[in-house]
């Protein structure tokens, strides 16, 4: 399974448009090679580089979407994919990179599952990950980097 974007390649900088310093909209994403036995997809975007004095776990969750159809091939820029929105650290829906201190890494993680999750809208990352245990049939990851320009 493969997750990619026309906006940036794995390991590259995320363009300003998709951050809090730009339009704060999600980048276009492409999905390929979902296994036939998949019943749903989960997308989680998070930042594991948050200073511990800001968040003791060092993690900020930017986007959670679960129960996406397994035949989805494309998530358009500035869109809400078909599925159920989970709760990020601060809100439902996409929240772009906005690091407070230095360059951070942002991981877009895609999971193919052998079932639909029986969770309600607003379930957080931990609830989604717990519900996925034992049901992941494939994964893919796209990582981008971003650092705010200081004036």
Q: What is the pTM of this model?
A: 0.95
Long-range contacts of 146-149 (CB under 8 A, 24+ apart): 146/13, 146/14, 146/19, 146/97, 146/99, 146/103, 146/104, 146/106, 147/13, 147/99, 147/102, 147/103, 147/104, 148/19, 148/21, 148/98, 148/99, 149/21
For residues 124-130, average pLDDT: 98
Assess contact for 147 and 102: CB atoms under 8 A.
yes
User: How confident is the model over 3-47, as pLDDT tens digits?
Assistant: 999 999 999 999 999 999 999 999 999 999 999 999 999 999 999
d(CA 37, CA 138): 10
Give yes or no for residue 146 having a pLDDT over 60: yes
CATH superfamily assigned to domain 2-146? PEBP-like (3.90.280.10)
pLDDT band at 149 (very low <50, low <70, confident <90, very high): confident
Give yes or no for residue 102 having a pLDDT over 70: yes
What are the structural domain ranges in the chain?
A: 2-146
């Amino acid at each position: 399974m493969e997750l990619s974007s026309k906006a940036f390649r794995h390991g590259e900088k995320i363009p300003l448009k998709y951050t809090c310093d730009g339009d704060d909209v999600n980048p276009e994403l492409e999905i390929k090679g979902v296994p036939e036995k998949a019943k749903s997809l989960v997308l989680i975007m998070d930042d594991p580089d948050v200073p511990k004095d800001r968040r003791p776990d060092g993690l900020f969750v930017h986007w959670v979407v679960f129960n996406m159809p397994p035949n989805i091939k494309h998530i358009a820029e500035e869109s809400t994919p078909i599925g159920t929105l989970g709760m990020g650290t601060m809100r439902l829906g996409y929240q772009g990179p906005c690091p407070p201190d230095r360059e951070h890494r942002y991981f877009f993680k895609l999971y193919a599952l052998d079932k639909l999750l029986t969770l309600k809208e607003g379930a957080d990352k931990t609830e989604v990950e717990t519900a996925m245990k034992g049901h992941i049939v494939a994964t893919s990851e796209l990582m981008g980097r971003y650092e705010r320009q200081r004036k």
